[in-house]
Amino acid sequence: MKIKSVKKALGLKRILTLCVALCVGSVGFAAKAPTNPSGFVIKRGVNLSHWLSQDFGWTPREELITENDIRYIAGIGFDHVRLPLDEKEMWLEDGSPNEEAFVLVESALEWCRKNDLRVVIDLHTINAHHFNAVNEGLENTLWTDPAAQQHFLDLWAELSERFAKHPVDQVAYEIMNEPVADDHEDWNKLVAASLAQIRASEPNRVIVIGSNLWQIPETLGYLKVPEGDKNIILSTHVYSPFVFTHYTANWTPLKDYRGPVNYPGKVLEDAEYERLMAVNGGSLKDLVGDSNLNWNKAQMKKKFEPALKRARELGLQLYCGEFGCLPTVPREGRLQYYADITDAMEESGMAWANWEYKGDFGIFEWHGDSFSSGAPDLEMIERLVGD
């Protein structure tokens, strides 16, 4: 679909919103977010997943994301993209760079520059660490192997050398996606070492940093960052309520649950909640525990509050780099979820990037080896960027 037709579809709502805003004055205006000295300004973004990260071979890389996609993303109202990169996609088995993959990154950066989109380069997974290792049959050796830690720093030395030429107001770095260490201090030490290395050659580059344990809001208070470094953006990820957003997801322990789910309100009926909480001696409690809460925009704000508190303490911007909901749930509930979570974030002064552009959660839904539809989900887009 052409950008012009999407804008037309969204235009009426924008006009009405502007009229209401002019009539009621400052009612509903979002909180003002802290800025960074380098001028890397972001508000609404989208993840370019399954391209140079978690590549399932759905389509050739040169076709999955093209300049037309970047133009489309900018045209519907996003101001940045988060670009996940995996070590196994960017480097060959012998450790040498995969130059074809790096050419694609440089192309994407140029396309984004031409279309006034900022970019967060996210080191998503490395050979010694995967955020979903427990469900992928993998072992995270990053926290126990000094050689793996040095290798991680070497990867960032190479990335920094390659991308230092790009303006600091256009490109930021995210040190690593969703760290999962047994001890918060293990991540803090790696953050300190990574920052010191990058800052030695790029003192003004904006660095995005999330907290240990999948970047959930509740652990951001344990994250340590250098005092006085204002070119840092704090990051959190939220997929709550998980039973709803990941309904039937085949990579989770809840993949076989087929009972009813709801949003807004309680995700699970009381009987279903009690049953799932008791499965395998309570092994699902961390995933199911919040399903009996009254989920709505107010509850979303409560979910973000621990992260917002830490961001206020440090005087840094807070960024939700991932959130999303699968299309396996009731349609109206899914759309209301997107409206509530984006309103909650923006009213709190947060920036965000939804997961994802193309994929199971995507603006363009992609299941297995094919799109479910060749058209974007316009109602979802309106909930995200329709104002």
pLDDT tens digits along 62-117:
999 999 999 999 999 999 999 999 999 999 999 999 999 999 999 999 999 999 99
Q: Strand pairing of 364-367 and 370-371?
A: antiparallel
C-alpha distances out from residue 247 to 100, 287, 356, Å? 36, 11, 17
On whether the CB atoms of residues 197 and 123 are closer than 8 A, the answer is no
pLDDT in tens, 120-138: 999 999 999 999 877 667 7
How high is the pLDDT of residue 137?
A: 72
Residue 166 three-state SS? coil
What integer pLDDT is reported at residue 59 of this predicted model? 81
Q: Which residues 6+ apart lie within 8 Å of 10 measured at CB?
A: 76, 77, 378, 381, 382, 385, 386
How confident is the model over 299-355, as pLDDT tens digits? 999 999 999 999 999 999 999 999 999 999 999 999 999 999 999 999 999 999 999
For the entire predicted model, the pTM comes to 0.91
188 and 130 Cβ atoms separated by less than 8 Å? no
Kindly give the residue spans of alpha helices, DSSP state H, lying in the chain: 3-24, 61-64, 67-75, 87-90, 99-114, 133-136, 146-163, 184-201, 242-245, 270-278, 285-288, 297-314, 331-347, 378-385
41-234+349-385 to CATH, choices 3.30.990.10, 3.20.20.80, 3.90.1210.10, 3.90.420.10? 3.20.20.80
pLDDT band at 218 (very low <50, low <70, confident <90, very high): very high
Looking at every residue in the chain, the average pLDDT score rounds to: 91
Q: Give the C-alpha distances (Å, rounded to integers) separating 301 from 104, 297, 346.
A: 37, 6, 10
Say what the pLDDT of residue 375 is: 83
User: In the β-sheet with 370-371, what is the strand arrangement from edge to edge?
Assistant: 358-359, 364-367, 370-371
**Residue-level pLDDT at 30:** 63
Residues with Cβ within 8 Å of residue 297, at least 6 apart in sequence: 339, 340, 341, 343, 344
Closest C-alpha to 295, from 241, 254, 242: 241
Burial of 213 (0-12, 13-18, 19+ CB in 10 A): middle
Decide if pLDDT at 27 tops 50: no
- Contact indicator for 235, 321 with CB cutoff of 8 Å: yes
Is the predicted pLDDT of residue 22 greater than 60, yes or no? no
Cross-strand bridge partners of residue 295? 265
Average pLDDT over residues 154-178: 98
Band the pLDDT of 34: cuts 50, 70, 90: confident
